[in-house]
Structure 1
Amino acid sequence: MKNSVNELSSGKPLSFGFVVGVTSLGFVVSQLDVSIVNIALPQISKSFSTGISSLQWIVDAYTIAFAALMLSAGGMSDLLGSKRIFQIGLIIFGIASMCCGISWNPISLILFRVLQGIGSAVMIPSSLSILNQNYAHNNGLRARAVGFWTAAGGVSIAAGPILGGLLIHLSTWRMIFFVNVPLCLLGIILSTKLKGSKRQLGRGFDIPGQLIWMLALVALIGAIIEWHDYGIKHPLIYGSLIFSVIMLLWFIHVEKKAKSPILPLSLFKSSNFNVLVLMGTILNNTYYGTVFILSLYLQNVLHYSVINAGLAFLPLTAGFIISNLLSGKLIGKYGIRFPILTGLTIVTIGFTGLFIAGANTPYWLLFIPFLAIPMGIGLAVPAMTTGVLSSVDKTLSGTASAVLNTSRQASGAMGVAIFGAMANGGATAIIHAITMSAIISPLAIICCGILIFKYLKAN
């Protein structure tokens, strides 16, 4: 067999809309399941008679698996070809979604959520790699493609609670998982026409690095989730935290010596890459954690019905749609710095606005932060993703996108764990958690903005 097998399909070039649409479909289903579950948490809790700790695991099992395996999946995309890996991810995700819908207790649902996370981890880096391979020759087209791709993901995250509320209102919480199956089937069929990257058969696979990274991440997030129930002084908690730190240090040591590392440390020689990955980490941590507690706040504190709670998130959808599409135009005109700094400013204002959330806050006061937060993120994230891809060689685009999305998903899982722990204790605790988000999130984003202003090189 030849050292390189070209998977680029021959014939008439595919349209821009088709390529972006199909790759975005994979991103849509994966991001939809990040947020659609949040709106169903009270119903799942009643169905299985379980507490907030189990609910955190139901949310984080997905993002932990997503984050733990995405580094390897990025390498597999570069190694075996992005189109093939993208299709495998869709198949895994569709099967896992069906299994989630028929789960019979919290443990089974958590395990099937892990399988969903594996499917997402496989298809996300490969979908972004397909875009980069198709449009690496044209920075303007690549920026537009990434803008639409991130817009689709952003809208699906924001639309998750709305769609989830509607599906639960019409049926049961199980329908939020069944809806993924036809979408995955459609993606598999359409993706047969996509142009993928070449197989790089000379590369190996870093199994030790993958296992060590997975152990480190699970130990860290598991300790944060169980912190509230056991306390920091419990051996299980501080032991897990110490174990996680040791694993992370060992992981870096192994990656330095690995022939084909899942995390090439050479990527971090670029200041653009470093600050943009840090930015993605902070945004996901604050956003995922805040949306988790807002879902509880709307239903358990303000006593919204599930359909009204879903509709309350409508500004998030509108904000992502408007700002994601606008971001691509701003990138083409001004580069990535302007939309990033503008977006971070807006999202800081949005998080600060959550200070007004109380036991009887009218919805019109929540509308502005609900709109500003996604608008700011929607402006910044496409520029962030474009900057990461342009900072590496296109042969490493799958790996680079995997590093970015791994850090974002891992941080998102930690955000759910941290803010969820604060919200564990009834209505008063939930309001306190939102107040803490209104303090912590803006401060973290302001620090990120300062680093972006200082170290991000214009491009």
Structure 2
Amino acid sequence: MSTVSATTADARPAAAVPRGRLVLLAACLGLFMSFIEVTAAISTLRALQVDMRVAPADLSWVSSTYTLVVAACVLSGGALGERFGRRRVFVTGTVLIAAGSLVVATAHTYPQVLVGRGISGLGGALVLPTSLALITTTFFVDLPRMLRYIAIWVSVSGVGLAVGPLLGGTLLQTWSWRAVYLVNTPLAVVTVAVTLYAVAESRVPDRPLDLPGQFWAVLGLSTLVYGIAVGGRAGYDDPVVVTVLAVAAVSLTALVVTERRRAVPMLDVRMMANARYTAALCVAAAALFVFVGVVFLEVLFLQRVRGFGPLGTGVRLLPAMLAFVAATATAQRLAGRVRAGRLLAAGSLVTTAAALVLLRQQPDGSYGVTALGLVLAGLGSGLVVAPSTAAAFEVVEGPQMGAASSAVTAFRQVGSVLATAILGAVLAVRFLDTLPAQLAEHRLPPPVIDQVVQVARSGGSSSGRSSPRITGAVGDAFTQGVHSALWVVAGVSCIAAVLAAALLARRSPNTP
């Protein structure tokens, strides 16, 4: 991976950069567009299913297709930005996000919807790494300012995740599900205009594309996410799932071997020999795994168990977004006085507590428990996500900061995608395992139990005209599935806290 100085052909000292805040605005708008695609789509699923008569088992791919493509291509996005120009690739990705959304909004068939989501995912894979690169290559000579802007940039991801359900619910209530996918069109126009006006182009003209590395990354990450997601429904002993996961393992191993041999790798795995650097990458991945995972699980719980509509769900997720933004601002103010590793450890402990609080949620419980858990999740994640970049910078040499920033971005996005895949699979497995017992506990006859379980295994819903006993049993089983997934969130947070405390909280030898 190229160094910072080598990748900023047109970069100037931060003090001399005109329209510097507009550079930040462009980067933040692109990131917002990328993340709003994640949760806004979830709010449209039921309406889209009714309108297009989509089979329940196929419905999850409306959201999964986007995240699958992002995960598979995010590593390539950074490399393409260096080779062909970060501004050019960023603008291209912004246009692709909007174009994909327009394809979905005007779709007449379900395959068209998936094609549109895939196009948007490709755009997201280009925007996510290059949006951060716009900041790091513009302000790299002013590290405090760069880290401050990165903190603001990161906070926008939380805004996008939390605003998505709220915005989607409002548009669904006012117009239709198609309107939700039109939101990014005006945002794309503004983003492209600001970028072309304010951002200077930067590239590494002789940067090799590392086609073997990109091939193995795309194949490995896509098969990994696909195998995890499908295995949750079909079972991990299914021959197709076993084969896909085996391909993922071989491909990711080949990626590591290939990148170790490259003179200019897409992902510099040799830097991971530094345990502190690897810990920073793992904590960065855990940060978005936890925050995206909590938002994902709470959207499902509030809608499918508590019965709230998309707008009501969005309103109830606001505590997480507000707490995330507040904690990010607090982390920014503490950056010069408290080591990044200590913030990571503290924030990870808070998110662990958040998951444990959310485990107390019940179908007929108080929203106060949910609100408290969401506030803690937002606070903890805000103390982790932004400082994770600073933590990586603290443990590498100056010339390696470019590679470090690209790797942190990639690990964050892979963590966010794995959140929906892994937690969705855990939820599905636990739900299907406990559903028969819950139906029996609600004193339903065996023929009805068999019928409901069959519908659930096909991805169907027992809501609507179902009897109160069936609805109650499904709600109880789904709650147990959410609880099992929250235990995974708590475990990931706890491991991140241990890594941060053990390896990152103490002063680095590279730091004066």
What TM-score results when the alignment is normalised by the length of structure 2?
A: 0.83
Give secondary structure in 1 for the equivalent of 2:123: helix
The offset of 1:311, in angstroms, is 0.8
CA contact (8 A) 1:219 1:244 kept: yes
The offset of 1:29, in angstroms, is 0.7
- Rounded to whole Å, the distance in 2 between the matches of 1:258 and 1:296 is 43
CA contact (8 A) 1:132 1:397 kept: no
- Cα 1:289–1:108 change in 2 (3 A) is farther
- Rounded to whole Å, the distance in 2 between the matches of 1:238 and 1:85 is 36
Which letter maps to 1:101?
A
- For residue 207 of structure 1, the aligned residue among 208, 211, 214 is 211
- Rounded to whole Å, the distance in 2 between the matches of 1:124 and 1:161 is 21
Q: Counterparts of 1:61-140 in structure 2 under 5 Å?
A: 61-140=65-144
- Cα 1:439–1:340 change in 2 (3 A) is same
Q: Counterparts of 1:425-436 in structure 2 under 5 Å?
A: 425=456, 426-436=474-484
- Rounded to whole Å, the distance in 1 between the matches of 2:281 and 2:57 is 29
CA contact (8 A) 1:70 1:402 kept: no
Structure 2 match to 1:454: 502
Structure 1 match to 2:350: 346
Q: Counterparts of 1:300-449 in structure 2 under 5 Å?
A: 300-389=304-393, 391=395, 399-424=403-428, 425=456, 426-449=474-497
Which letter maps to 2:481?
A
- For residue 291 of structure 2, the aligned residue among 287, 291, 294 is 287
1:255 aligns with 2:255: no
- Rounded to whole Å, the distance in 1 between the matches of 2:8 and 2:148 is 29
Give secondary structure in 1 for the equivalent of 2:177: coil
- Rounded to whole Å, the distance in 2 between the matches of 1:263 and 1:269 is 13
- Rounded to whole Å, the distance in 2 between the matches of 1:394 and 1:36 is 39
- Rounded to whole Å, the distance in 2 between the matches of 1:389 and 1:315 is 31
**Higher mean C-alpha displacement, 259-268 vs 431-440:** 259-268
CA contact (8 A) 1:73 1:125 kept: yes
- For residue 39 of structure 1, the aligned residue among 40, 43, 49 is 43
The offset of 1:410, in angstroms, is 2.7
- Cα 1:450–1:228 change in 2 (3 A) is closer
Which letter maps to 2:334?
L
- Cα 1:207–1:139 change in 2 (3 A) is same
Could you say what the CA RMSD is over the residues aligned between the two structures, in angstroms? 2.5
- Rounded to whole Å, the distance in 2 between the matches of 1:228 and 1:270 is 34
- Rounded to whole Å, the distance in 1 between the matches of 2:7 and 2:332 is 34
The offset of 1:442, in angstroms, is 1.5
- Rounded to whole Å, the distance in 1 between the matches of 2:198 and 2:400 is 19
CA contact (8 A) 2:103 2:116 kept: yes
**Higher mean C-alpha displacement, 19-28 vs 223-232:** 223-232
Structure 2 match to 1:224: 228
Which letter maps to 2:123?
G
Which letter maps to 1:238?
V
- Rounded to whole Å, the distance in 2 between the matches of 1:114 and 1:393 is 37
Structure 2 match to 1:236: 240
Give secondary structure in 1 for the equivalent of 2:164: helix
- Rounded to whole Å, the distance in 2 between the matches of 1:272 and 1:336 is 12
Give secondary structure in 1 for the equivalent of 2:359: helix
**Higher mean C-alpha displacement, 361-370 vs 222-231:** 222-231
Give secondary structure in 1 for the equivalent of 2:44: helix
**Percent pairwise identity:** 21
**Higher mean C-alpha displacement, 346-355 vs 407-416:** 407-416
User: What whole-Å deviation, never above 9, does each CA across 1:52-100 have from its counterpart, x for those lacking one?
Assistant: 5433322222122112212111112222332222222212222112112
Give secondary structure in 1 for the equivalent of 2:365: coil
The offset of 1:390, in angstroms, is 5.3
- Cα 1:207–1:156 change in 2 (3 A) is same
- Rounded to whole Å, the distance in 2 between the matches of 1:267 and 1:365 is 42
- For residue 190 of structure 2, the aligned residue among 169, 186, 190 is 186
CA contact (8 A) 1:278 1:448 kept: yes
- Rounded to whole Å, the distance in 2 between the matches of 1:192 and 1:397 is 26
Give secondary structure in 1 for the equivalent of 2:322: helix
- Gaps of at least 5 residues in structure 2 are 1-5, 429-455, 457-473
Give secondary structure in 2 for the equivalent of 1:333: coil
CA contact (8 A) 1:133 1:197 kept: no
- Rounded to whole Å, the distance in 1 between the matches of 2:42 and 2:7 is 44
- For residue 245 of structure 1, the aligned residue among 246, 249, 265 is 249
- Cα 1:243–1:117 change in 2 (3 A) is same
Structure 1 match to 2:180: 176
CA contact (8 A) 1:227 1:237 kept: yes
CA contact (8 A) 2:161 2:292 kept: no
The offset of 1:316, in angstroms, is 1.5
- Rounded to whole Å, the distance in 2 between the matches of 1:338 and 1:219 is 35
Which letter maps to 2:421?
A
User: What whole-Å deviation, never above 9, does each CA across 1:196-239 have from its counterpart, x for those lacking one?
Assistant: 46322222111122112211222222122222443222210111
- Cα 1:9–1:182 change in 2 (3 A) is farther
- For residue 157 of structure 1, the aligned residue among 148, 156, 161 is 161
- Rounded to whole Å, the distance in 2 between the matches of 1:365 and 1:350 is 10
- Rounded to whole Å, the distance in 2 between the matches of 1:406 and 1:5 is 20
Q: How many residues of Structure 1 are paired with residues of Structure 2 in the alignment?
A: 457
- Rounded to whole Å, the distance in 2 between the matches of 1:392 and 1:92 is 34
The offset of 1:8, in angstroms, is 4.6
- Rounded to whole Å, the distance in 2 between the matches of 1:122 and 1:28 is 14
User: What whole-Å deviation, never above 9, does each CA across 1:294-348 have from its counterpart, x for those lacking one?
Assistant: 2122122111122211111111121122111111111122231232222112111
Give secondary structure in 2 for the equivalent of 1:232: coil
- Cα 1:75–1:99 change in 2 (3 A) is same
Structure 2 match to 1:54: 58
Give secondary structure in 1 for the equivalent of 2:205: coil
Which letter maps to 1:235?
P
Which letter maps to 2:491?
L
Which letter maps to 1:137?
V
- Rounded to whole Å, the distance in 2 between the matches of 1:437 and 1:394 is 39
- Cα 1:41–1:430 change in 2 (3 A) is farther
Give secondary structure in 1 for the equivalent of 2:181: helix
Structure 1 match to 2:447: none
- Cα 1:184–1:130 change in 2 (3 A) is same
